[in-house]
Amino acid sequence: MSFSFPSLYLSQFRRYPPHTISVQCVLPFLQKCELLKVPSFVLPWLASRSSRGRYSRAARFMGRGTALVFVILDKQKEAMHRAWVEGARGIVNSGLIPSLVWKLQSEEEHIQEIILDTLAPCLQEDATEALDSQAVPRLKEKLQNENPQIRSKAARALIAISIPLEGKNQVWQNDVIPILVELLSDSEEEVQANAAGALMHAAVTTEGKYAALDADAINPLLELLCSTPTTKVCLNATKALTMLAEAPEGRKLLQPHIPTFRLLQMHKSEAIQRAAKVAIKVIEWKP
C-alpha cells in the first residue's frame, strides 16, 4: 500500500535546498499529514532528493537538522529507518520518539527490528520522552517475541532506557527483571549479552537488586561465566553479578564462587580482567 504526498504541502518545501530546512519548520506539515494515521512512516525525504540523493547521504544530513517528510512508498520504510540511526539527536529534538514507540505495536517484524535499532541510540541521547510514552511496557512485550532479533534489540533498548534513574525504576516497577533473567538462558548469545547488560543497569538500585535476587538471577549469570561465552556476554554478566554482590544476600551467595572470578582475571580481555577485579573486591567486602 502506498501513500502519495499532498502536492500542495510538498510544494512549500521544493523551493528550498534540502539541507537548509529545519525539523521545526516541517513539524506543522507532519502534523497536518497526520503522522500516526497513515501506513507509511517518515524519512528524511528532502535530504534524499539532493544531488547525491542516497539514503546514506540522508543519514549524514539528519544530524544537521534536516527536514523530516513522509515517505512515498511503504517499501522505502526500511531504508528510511536505517538512515535515522545516525540521526538520534535530530529525532529526539524533533519530538518523534513517542511515534517510534507507538509504531512498535503495529509494524511488521522486520520494521520493528529497525525501529528498535533506531530507538537505542536515541534513548542514550535522551530517554525522557520514551519513558513518558510507555516505552518500557512496549519493550517488555518485545522481550517475549519469538524472533530472537527482536528479543535482542528490545533488551539492547532497555539497556539504554535504564541508564537514567527513572528508567531503572520503571524497569523494576513493570516487572521486566524476571523476564530478563529468563533471557539469560536464551539460545542466542546476543540475547543473553543484552539481557545481562539490562540487568546490570536495573540492579543499580536497591529495588532492582532484590528483584533480580528474587528472580534467582545469580545462577544463570554464573553459568554464563562458566560456559566460555563471547566477551560481551562475559563482561555484562560479570558486571551484573557485581551489582548483585552489593546486597548482603548477593555477597553471601557469590562468596563460594570467587575462584571463578579469579580465573577471569586471566582472561584475554582487559575489560573482563578489570571487571573481575572489581567483582572480587565487592564480594570480599566486609562491613
Task: Report the pLDDT value the prediction gives residue 77, as an integer from 0 to 100.
Answer: 54
Residue 137 makes CB contacts below 8 A (sequence gap 6+) with 174
Task: Report the pLDDT value the prediction gives residue 89, as an integer from 0 to 100.
Answer: 72
Residue 84 lies in domain: 1-94
H or E stretch including 43? strand 42-43
Task: Report the pLDDT value the prediction gives residue 3, as an integer from 0 to 100.
Answer: 35
For the chain, what is the domain count? Answer: 1
H or E stretch including 158? helix 148-161
Q: Which of 141, 136, 145 is nearest to 173 (CA)?
A: 136
pTM of the model: 0.72
- The pLDDT averaged over each successive group of 10 residues in the chain (287 residues) is 36 40 41 36 34 35 36 47 58 82 87 88 90 95 96 97 96 98 96 97 97 98 86 96 97 97 94 97 93
10 domain-assigned: yes
Q: Which of 118, 58, 110 is nearest to 88 (CA)?
A: 118
| Assigned C-alpha cell, 167 | 528508567
Q: How far apart are CA 152 and CA 16, in angstroms?
A: 41
Burial of 134 (0-12, 13-18, 19+ CB in 10 A): middle
261 domain-assigned: no
| Assigned C-alpha cell, 49 | 532528493
49 domain-assigned: yes
Spatial contact of 66 and 46, defined as CB atoms under 8 Å apart: yes
Spatial contact of 181 and 210, defined as CB atoms under 8 Å apart: no
Which residues pair with residue 2 across a beta bridge? Answer: 73
H or E stretch including 121? helix 109-125
86 domain-assigned: yes
240 domain-assigned: no
Collect contacts of 256-264 with beta carbons under 8 A, ≥24 apart: 257/222, 258/283, 258/284, 260/222, 260/225, 260/226, 261/225, 264/225, 264/234, 264/238
Task: Report the pLDDT value the prediction gives residue 86, as an integer from 0 to 100.
Answer: 54
Q: How far apart are CA 83 and CA 77, in angstroms?
A: 10
The amino acid present at 229, given as its one-letter code, is P
138 domain-assigned: no
46 domain-assigned: yes
Task: Report the pLDDT value the prediction gives residue 62, as an integer from 0 to 100.
Answer: 37
Spatial contact of 64 and 58, defined as CB atoms under 8 Å apart: no
40 domain-assigned: yes
Q: How far apart are CA 45 and CA 28, in angstroms?
A: 16
How far is Cα of residue 75 from the mean position of the Cα atoms in its chain?
24
